[in-house]
Structure 1
Amino acid sequence: MRSKQAMFFVVPESSSISSISISSISRDRVLAQRTSRQWVRAIASGLVMLYAAPVLAQTAAPVNTGAVPAQESVPLQPGGRPLPPNYESDYVLGAGDAVQIDIFNVPNLSGENARYSVLVDGSLNLPWIGKVNVRGLSLQESSDAIAARYAEFIREPIVTVTLLTPRPMRVAIVGEVNRPGAYTTGQSVGTGPAGQATQETRGEARAGELRTVIEAIQTAGGITQLADVRSVEVRRPRINGTEEVILVDLWAFLQSGNLQQNVTLRDGDTVIVPTATALDPGESQRLAAASFSPDTISVNVVGEVVRPGAVSVAPNTSLNQAILAAGGFDNVRASTGKVTLIRLNSDGSVARREIPVDLSANLSEETNPILRSNDIVVVSPSQRSRTTDVLGVIGGAANAILNPLSALFNIFRSADEINR
């Protein structure tokens, strides 16, 4: 067998220099390849973030950059006036409402591109998800329902539903108001004295005035002097056929400005203003200045006054003030000691009483009571005037008997004047 012999090679010193140069070149190539791969990864990550940003941004919290935020749209009544402050939180959607939907960071499904009207069946027909039922839901509940449907396409969507124009509503106002009945938003309602329609306002559209309890009472001509504003009721029908009763204390509203007492109404509500069992003169004066009281009431002052007839006065006007508004007593003929007050009660009965008069007296139920709408004040002639009137009638009859020719001549002269 041929024995194997070890072979040794001696490498010159110059060859070590060559190997070092080769190693340096290989290292540079590796670094260049790594750098290229890093750039490719960075570009790919940027492209992914660019296309995924509208979805991933749904979970990001808004950052306060110090810029002035855009002014939010304020919902308006059909008449163009802002709705009450607590209106949106209490309002429930129904057929005919106009709304706007905004989805954070998805402009194609937000703003003017996403304005809809609630359909007759109580639903909204939206892109991608179709019909969403919102009948009977508040704005926040509607936002949650729509967000749940869009969650199939958008990661954690943030949805806001804004009420643009509320639908017409039908509300009944009964009890101690000047013009009880059923009212619909946008119908013609007069605003004359004592809640009577006037020629100037007849046919005028009064849209958007039934949104709160106070607006409904104002539309119905305001409260009467017998209204119990502490116990106003709002009766609200429910879908299951039952009825919810909401108590409203408008006196607390006047005393402290508690806006929670000015309840937002819904379609089908009935506002009941009960009759007060006892009236405080001080409270009556305060109520007369309230916005839900009528501006004027009408009373009749007849008989021996300077200007007899109907007089428009402020609510809770006293008897003495009404007499002075009619020009005061006729100094020649009036009986200034007492007057007769005739009042038609709410149950259809008529009350009549004699009241002693002292024009310098303070407010008092016995001598200077507060008048109500359509009260009649009768100022009788004095005894002297009555005697004079009787004597005049007797004298005329006696003259006709004693002087028939003169009476006949007067008859012909009167007939001739009539023919002229």
Structure 2
Amino acid sequence: MLRMFLFVYFFCIFFTQTVAFSAQSSADISTTNEQKRSVLKEMLGARADSLPSEEEYVIGYGDILTVSIFEEGDMSVSAPTNADTDAQETEQPPSAGSGTPVMMDGRISLKHIGDVEVVGLTLTEFADYLKRLYSTIYDDPIVTTTLAQSKSLRYTVMGEVKSPGIFSLEFPMNLVQIVARSGGFTEWASKTITVVRKIIKEEDKALFKGHTLIFDYDNFITGKALDKNIIIRSNDIIIID
């Protein structure tokens, strides 16, 4: 009988705490889904008159982003509270790739506003979007968004390098850097590189024949055809002979 009483007692305590926590979590979200959709629709409508430039990074699935507000700190749902930060004796630098991942539904979760859609936005558009949402909570917030790690842009390296494979394009890289990142040439390599690119833009046509570019490394190190040491794009296939 005593065991039954204790079980019921602790179950009631646990259930009450769980309900209270859930209610607190829901109440912490101050922006409605209708508000988010309205702001995003307005932004995308304005974008039709001014498309992002080719140099602007477009957020994709799996990317890891950091979001912070001046004087408020990190807005990641897993970020430590001010109390936790003050309790630390020494400040630890953020680890590589720290931040909030973009989920497979194209959203990330942030403090006070919950899940927001981000896939397809540039980092600048994302910051503007969040500024408008957080303006319902903070007075004129200064929002900073950063790409901590790119996971959505990838390229493929095949052939006579020591470490071929599929790699994340985390920052701009040229062909020579790609070879270095792949461990360098094997002893059997002729050091001729073929780049296969699916989408050929106007600026590519001077160097590409159809969808391929041929890069001769031996010519390059003698100072010839330096312009063929191109910057790799997402989905490029690099074949090393």
TM-score range, shorter chain: 0.3 to 0.5
Superposition TM-score, scaled by structure 1 size: 0.28
Instruction: Indicate the structure (1 or 2) with the bigger Cα radius of gyration.
Output: 1
